[in-house]
Structures are given as structure tokens and as C-alpha cells.
Structure 1
Amino acid sequence: MTLRWTMGVALVAFGGATASAETAIQSAFDYQLICCETPACCDEPSCGCADPSCGCEPGCGCDDGCADGCCDAGGCCGDACGDGCCGDACGCGSACSLFGDCCLGDPWTLQGHLDPCGCSPITFGGWTQVGFHTQNTRFSRDDNDAFAFNDHPGRLNLHQQWFYAEKVAEAPCCGVDWGFRADIMYGTDAVKTQAFGNDAGEWDYLNGWDRGGGYGWAMPQLYGEVAWSDWSVKFGHFFTLVGYEVVTAPDNFFYSHAYTMFNSEPFTHTGAIATYSGFDNLEVYAGWTAGWDTGFDDFNGGSNFLGGFSTNLTDDVAFTYITTAGNFGKRSTGAANAVSDSYSHSIVVDFALSDKLNYVFQSDLVSIDSQNGAIGANDQVGINQYLFYTMNDCWGAGARLEWWKTDGFSYQEMTYGLNYRPHANVVIRPEIRYDWTASDAAANNVGFANAEEFNSAKFGMDVIFTF
């Protein structure tokens, strides 16, 4: 609910007055209680011919025959048929919806159901991800190996049943604001999303959260945030800044993940990270965390720096550098259980080649106990290349080519995929992936008899419903 108080000027004439004092007071103070239903008045162009009590100017003409009072340059209602109100006459019908204009419709949100008036500063949401793949990612001969996200082949899996609550910290001009976020999820991805950098039994790792059959629970984020001026500081348990691909399924193009993402990057941290955005075209990050993948705990004194920066090199090229350095905790622990100095970085360069074509280059480096000059267990380097083509709001195509090296052994994978959005809440992601290595020794290193046994093609597809 929004309470609007409008104060007017009333003239009361004495001697022969035509308005009573009561009428003057009513004119001077006008209380209007308005429930801002979707779309909120003045916040959306579709305000159209809304009640004048909104106090806003109509976003579009009021006599154009459209339901929301909005016509685009071509005479269609809404934004190029995006709301589906103009039908085939404006090119939004089935004949051209495959690769031309498409009608996604309005998304259904949990927020809109729980808070229809838009009064709460807290946002609620989530998604459901269900998928099927023919083989696990080739890093173990055994299924159910927990060495990749897609590790339960040949069956339909609930990968992520996700819920979150969030209040974004948005600092006013000369003040301070606070925020928070809490995420909880269930599914086969939970084991890989728990704080496995902890000691057993701490936070959500091996603490009775696994439910069998590859399923379990995880709480990958629980943090507070404070923002003021150009600064914000996040403290608690949060997702990493490292890399390009992320744990949250709706934020990736592909169903499967790169070797580099799963093996050479942390997923979560516990600590504090500050962001400064006061520079022109530059955002800087710096903070401390208790190692990699920890949840309100450390392992063997895990303590490392997390930071970097992101900037736009040109209008079409974005560059991000993120590093971690120090004791990564469980990841920095060698065979002799001795903690070593560690360093990693991730470089991501995003090129907008055209309005529809996008190319991404990523390179990661992980060095564990590298001061002796020898290649150690966990020394890794990866180069990932992505190419995305957006056909329209409903269809997109992508390709990923990866070379990843660990312990002196090289592995490659190539993935081709589509994204199809039949509705604003739904995305379907089929893909074909091929993993290979040229070395029998590399295949032996991960439990395969030879390279021929390791090399294989696989099909996968998932559906994500967001809310």
C-alpha cells in the first residue's frame, strides 16, 4: 500500500463566501490510499490511461484502440507484440514465431503472489530444474561419482529446487542502507553446492543434509550487506566472484558445466567482500574469506584474499579479473596434510560482436605450493571459449570449446546447445557434448583404461521453471 497525501491551496472568502470552512479543509488536505497493482502507476509505460489520481502522465495515447493505451511505431499494441495483444496481424502469430518475433507473455512470480501490492522491500523467488543426460561428465568411470554436476545419468533428475529471500542494499544519496540474502535448495546438485571445504559435520556438509539417491539439501548463501555512497560490503556465506559459469542454473546457457568451473574454481566463501563503484567505468572488489567452499568454518586455518576488478574496455568489450591468494583451506592441503601457499585467477573477456552475436573468452589458473617450481597436485590451467547467437527472445544457440590441464594431463570438451523459451517462466536447454583426451595416461589418471574409453559423446536436456 502507498499512502499519498496531497496538499492543496484553499481560498476561503469571508462575507458572502460560497464555500464553507469544511469544504475548504477538504480541498486543502486530500488523502488518497492507493494499492499499486501490477503494473504500478507511473513505473511502467503501460500506465496508459490510468486513473488521474496516479498523478502521472499517460505513457501512450489514449485513443489508439489498444488495451493498455500503447502502440509502437508499427501500430502494434505493446512492445513489438511482446505482450501478445496484437496477434498475427502484427507478425506475432505462429507463422513467424520460430525465429521472428515471439510472445513470451508476462512472467508469473512468487513475489507477485505473496506481495501483490509491491509494498515489501524483500523479494522472494526461486526455480525448479529437471534434467536428463545419457552419461556423466567424463571424470570417473563410475556413475554417481560427485565429480561433476551431471553425475546421475540415465534417469530424470531434480537438479535444483531453489528458494531465496533477498533485500537489496541500495544506498540513498547521503545515507546507509542494509540488505541480506538467504538461499536454500534441494536436489542432486546439493552435494556439489554444500560447503565441502568444511570439516565434516559443519554447516551443511555431511551434517545429515544428504537424503540418499544423490539427493540432499544445501544452503549456499546466507549473508548480510551494508551499502553507503559508492561502497557496499557483503559479509557471511556467499557465492564466489571467480569464473564465468555459476552454480545457479538459470544464469548459465548450458545444462552441463565446464571442467574448469567444477575443478578449478571455488563455489562459495565465508568472509567479507567490499565493492567500490566510485570510479568511472570501473568496479573494484577486495575482501577476506576463510578458504574455498567453507560455510562459517575453516579447514586447517584457511585464510585468503578475494578481489579483483571489472571494467568496459570499449562499448562492446567487458573485462573481469578475479584472484584468490593465500591458504585455500582443504584445497591447499597436500598429501602430507601440510598447508601451502596458493594462488588462482580467472580472466573473463566478453565481446559483443553484434546485436545478436556474443563471444566470451575465459582463462583460469590455479597454483598450489608453486614456490618450489614443480607441478603439484591441483596445479591447473583452463581456456574456455563461448559463442552465443540470439535469434529472438525465444531462441538462442551456443557453443563451448574447452581445454583444461591438470597435473600435466590435458582434457578437452566441446558442447553445442540451444535455449528455447516458450514462456517468460520457462527455458528448455538441449545439448550435445563430446569429451576427449589424446593421452592414454590422461585417461588412466581419472580411472579409464585408455583414451578411447574416455572419449565419448553424450546428450542432455533440462527444463527450468522460474518463479
Structure 2
Amino acid sequence: MKLSKLALVAALACGTYAGNVFADQTNEIQLVSHRHAACDCGEPACGCEAAIPSCDLGCSDGCDGGCDGACGCDSGCGIGNALGGLLDCDDCCLGDPYTLFGEHCGWSAGGWVQLGYSNKALPAFNTYPDHLQLQQAWLFAEKSIDTSNGFDIGGRIDYLYGTDGPNTQAFGTDPRGWDNSWDNGGQYGHALPQLYAEAGYGDLSVKLGHFYTIIGYEVVGATGNFFYSHAYTFNFSEPFTHTGALATYNVNDDVTVWGGYSMGWDSGFDDNGDAYLGGISLGLTDKLQLTYAATAGRFGENRFNGVETGYMHSIVADYAVTDSLQYIIQNDILSTEDAAGALARESFGINQYLVKTLNDCWAVGARFEWWNAEGAGFGANGVGESDLYALTLGANYKPHANVTVRPEIRWDWDDDQFIGLEDGTRQTTFGVDTILTF
């Protein structure tokens, strides 16, 4: 089975070479600006406001400099305006986002608040159904390094409180480490997911401390993901954080290389493991980016029979099909053993994302995942190898530059009840959240 999976990975790599791949670790949802071809009137103000035949209801031709009407006038295409431009050919006018703290002496600070609701529990993060919940109250302070004039020093600290807090703590060292005991009741908790210093000179920089992983496509911070819910690979097959040292070298505009050492998976500032962490990102064409990231070694001492060792990688390809259509495919492979040499965890996953930006206010997307998993480390309830599938359809709506609303509907299939869905082998879940940045 391992050989067939590796062959499939090779086939996928060949199939995606003609296309754009990256592991997005940013803290901001980016919607690609979109313009209807028939609206190209050459005026930059608030997008293109030209009237087009499909919505010309008495509007004059040409461009209206304001944002007060659909297709350049107050009449016609009213439904498009009411839906924030969903049916409108024009860009909506969001303006610049507000910041609460701004930047002072090279340091910047900010954050966001995420409120969410789902009608059923999912095994990945959204585990508190039928409750309007504070999932992330997030604060950060950061000094980004600037090596254009030589050597520079910076760093970052992140604080999180909410129902996502316990999932983000350094639980890999339970009960010893870091923020693992900062729970508040049965669902809420605090976490310090990042605390690191960074130094750089020229094209080389080094992080030292507690920081997010470079592995995978999805991230913990709500502002870095298109969907409200998470993929199985993100929650079960990838680390969230590392403690150690990580060097980044920008070879040129198209090539970035990482390499470093970590004390295991999801560990705090204690000796919990010894693992290599590294990878490479390649801009193969103007539209295609490919990122490979891997970790190997001793992942933790408080896991299966006292230790877990092995290898894990993710390969992410991001292809810009058009200026407004993005396709991402990701492959994860994980294989680990316990202290006795027995299987601890083995998984193989393929995630596919398709995101269409309609305008600056609206985007729609789909995610389909196949996750094959085996091992008691997943809480398999005595079940051996199992295949799980999940299809998610969702939208991003920005009524304001600081506000994003993400409704979604998700279907999960788990014939072997490997994870334990509320509905047994099938589950349909509706969820929606709102993110306010500051």
C-alpha cells in the first residue's frame, strides 16, 4: 500500500507541474480583485463602474466615479448592490481596514475576534456544537526584520483565548509544558502559540523560540484560511507549533529554503523531542508555486508508549487558473512508530481547493479531502485502516474591510466510524463564523 501511495504522489506531482503552489502562513484573508471583462472602462476609482448591456436600465454609458450605484448609476442591478456586489459586475468599495494599535518604532500590534457556530461537532477544532462561541480572541505584537540595510533583529508574540485555545496549546508535552494547563472550563482556554526572536542579514534570517510550523496549507489563525472548518490532515497529521530554531534563506525571488531543529511536535520550552524541520518553496512559473516541507525524528516523549518517532511531509501546489480562480492541491504523508517499533500513526491525505473571487467583497470556494489513516494514535476505537472523505462548500463575504463572514456546508463520510461523527458514518454540518480584525 505504501508503494501505491508513493506512486500516486509522483503522478500528482507530474500532473500539477503545468500549474501555482504555496503554504500560506499569513494572517490575512486575501480576496483577489475581480473585474468583469465588459466593465473594462479604464477608470480605477472604486473599480469599473461602466454600464454593460445586461444591467443597462437607463444608465448612461461610460464610467461613474462614485460607488453609489450599480453599473455606474443608482437604478438597475439593485439586487447586486443589496448582496454586496455578488450579482454586480463592479468591484465593491471596502476602503482601507482600521487598525487599533498601528505601528510604533518598528513594532506593530493587532488581532482579531472570531465568533462561530456549527450545528454539529467535527473532530477538528469545531467540537462545541449548537453554541455561539468565541473561538479566537487573538492579540499579537511583532517587529518584522528589515535586512535591506544589513543586520536586523525582531520577533513576535501571539496570545489566544477561546474554544480554539486548548487545540493550540503545547499539548505535545502533557502534562509538563508551557501553556498546556491554561484551560478555562470544559471548552475554553488560553494559549501562547508563538514567542520567538528573529535575526537576519541580507537574504538569511533565523527564528529562535516557539513558532508555527511551515508544514501544510491551512493555519491555526482564522484570518489565514478560506474555510471556517478544517481538513482532517491539518488536525490529525500535521504539527501546529515547534520550539527550536529555523533558518530561512531567500535564494532569489522564486526560491526559498528552510532548515532547522525542533524539540518535537507541539512542544513548549522543554526537552520533548529531536526533529529536523525544513523545506523548499519554488516559483516554477508566474502561475505555479510548489512547496515541500518535512519533519523527521523524535516527535514526542509523552505520546505512544513514551515516544513517537517518524517522518512527515506536505507538498502543496498553488495554481492561478485565472486572475480570479485559484486551485490548490496538497498531499500529506505521515508514518511513525512507538518505542517498541510498532505502528503509532500512518496517514495519507489529498486535499483539493478551488476558490473563485467574484469581487473584493465576495468569494466562493470548494474543498474536497480524502484522508486514509491507520493507528491507535488517531483514537481509532479498535478499527484498523480507514478512509474518510469530506466535501465543503463555502463563501467569504466582506461587508467591511475589517469584517469577514464565512458560511459553509460540509458533508463527511466515514464508513468505519474511525473518528466518530455524530451521525455515525455520515454527517452534514452547517457552520458560519464572523471575523473582526483590528
TM range (shorter): 0.7 to 0.9
Q: Corresponding residue for 2:109?
A: 124
Distance 1:447 1:399, change over 3 A: closer
Q: Corresponding residue for 2:61?
A: none
Cα offset for 1:111?
A: 2.8
Q: Corresponding residue for 2:314?
A: 346
Q: Corresponding residue for 1:217?
A: 190
Q: Corresponding residue for 1:176?
A: 151
Which structure's relative contact order is higher, taking Cα pairs within 8 Å and 6+ residues apart?
2
Cα offset for 1:447?
A: 4.8
Distance 1:228 1:354, change over 3 A: same
SS at match of 1:171: coil
Cα offset for 1:412?
A: 0.8
Question: What do the CA deviations read for 1:293-327 (whole angstroms, capped 9, x no partner)?
Answer: 0111133xx01000010011111111000000000
Distance 1:369 1:170, change over 3 A: same
When normalised by structure 2's length, the TM-score is: 0.78
Q: Corresponding residue for 1:430?
A: 407
| Partner Cα distance (1:316, 1:288) in 2 | 32
Contact 1:102 1:393 in 2 (8 A): yes
Cα offset for 1:199?
A: 3.4
Contact 1:396 1:419 in 2 (8 A): yes
- 1:310 and 2:295 are equivalent in the alignment: no
Cα offset for 1:280?
A: 5.4
Cα offset for 1:106?
A: 2.4
Structure 1: state its 5+ residue gaps. 1-71, 113-117, 140-147
Q: Corresponding residue for 2:10?
A: none
**Largest Rg, 1 or 2:** 1
Amino acid at match of 1:306: L
| Partner Cα distance (2:209, 2:320) in 1 | 34
Identity %: 50
Question: What do the CA deviations read for 1:397-431 (whole angstroms, capped 9, x no partner)?
Answer: 11111011111211111100000011100000000
Distance 1:353 1:196, change over 3 A: same
Contact 1:385 1:400 in 2 (8 A): yes
Contact 1:126 1:466 in 2 (8 A): yes
Distance 1:105 1:153, change over 3 A: same
Contact 1:298 1:329 in 2 (8 A): no
Distance 1:369 1:287, change over 3 A: same
Following superposition of structure 1 onto structure 2, how do residues 70-85 of structure 1 map, counting pairs within 5 Å? 74=42, 77=45, 80=48, 85=66
Distance 1:188 1:210, change over 3 A: same
SS at match of 2:191: strand
| Partner Cα distance (1:327, 1:405) in 2 | 23
Following superposition of structure 1 onto structure 2, how do residues 285-364 of structure 1 map, counting pairs within 5 Å? 285-299=258-272, 302-330=273-301, 333-334=303-304, 336-337=305-306, 339-364=307-332
Following superposition of structure 1 onto structure 2, how do residues 139-288 of structure 1 map, counting pairs within 5 Å? 139=123, 148-173=124-149, 175-206=150-181, 209-279=182-252, 281-288=254-261
Amino acid at match of 1:385: Q
Cα offset for 1:105?
A: 2.4
SS at match of 1:411: strand
- 1:380 and 2:347 are equivalent in the alignment: yes
Q: Corresponding residue for 2:372?
A: 405
Question: What do the CA deviations read for 1:152-199 (whole angstroms, capped 9, x no partner)?
Answer: 0001010000000000011134x2001110000110000000011123
| Partner Cα distance (1:74, 1:359) in 2 | 29
Distance 1:110 1:342, change over 3 A: same
Structure 2: state its 5+ residue gaps. 1-39, 50-64, 375-384
Amino acid at match of 1:158: L
Contact 1:92 1:103 in 2 (8 A): no
Cα offset for 1:356?
A: 1.1
| Partner Cα distance (1:268, 1:343) in 2 | 16
Distance 1:205 1:76, change over 3 A: closer
Q: Corresponding residue for 1:53?
A: none
Amino acid at match of 1:231: L
Contact 2:421 2:427 in 1 (8 A): no
Residues 342-351 or 99-108, more deviating: 99-108
- The one of 58, 65, 68 aligned to 1:87: 68
Contact 1:357 1:388 in 2 (8 A): yes
Contact 2:203 2:249 in 1 (8 A): yes
Contact 1:416 1:431 in 2 (8 A): yes
SS at match of 1:328: strand
SS at match of 2:233: helix
Following TM superposition, where does structure 1 have runs of at least 4 consecutive aligned residues deviating by more than 2 angstroms? 72-81, 84-100, 369-374, 445-449
Distance 1:418 1:372, change over 3 A: same
| Partner Cα distance (1:105, 1:447) in 2 | 44
Q: Corresponding residue for 2:392?
A: 415
Question: What do the CA deviations read for 1:11-56 (whole angstroms, capped 9, x no partner)?
Answer: xxxxxxxxxxxxxxxxxxxxxxxxxxxxxxxxxxxxxxxxxxxxxx
| Partner Cα distance (1:464, 1:203) in 2 | 27
Contact 1:364 1:382 in 2 (8 A): yes
Cα offset for 1:102?
A: 0.6
| Partner Cα distance (2:301, 2:72) in 1 | 57
| Partner Cα distance (1:361, 1:388) in 2 | 12
| Partner Cα distance (1:372, 1:212) in 2 | 36
Cα offset for 1:203?
A: 1.1
| Partner Cα distance (2:332, 2:313) in 1 | 6
Contact 1:367 1:379 in 2 (8 A): yes
| Partner Cα distance (1:309, 1:415) in 2 | 29
- 1:135 and 2:111 are equivalent in the alignment: no
Contact 1:348 1:362 in 2 (8 A): yes
How big is the alpha-carbon RMSD for the aligned residues of Structure 1 and Structure 2? Answer: 2.4
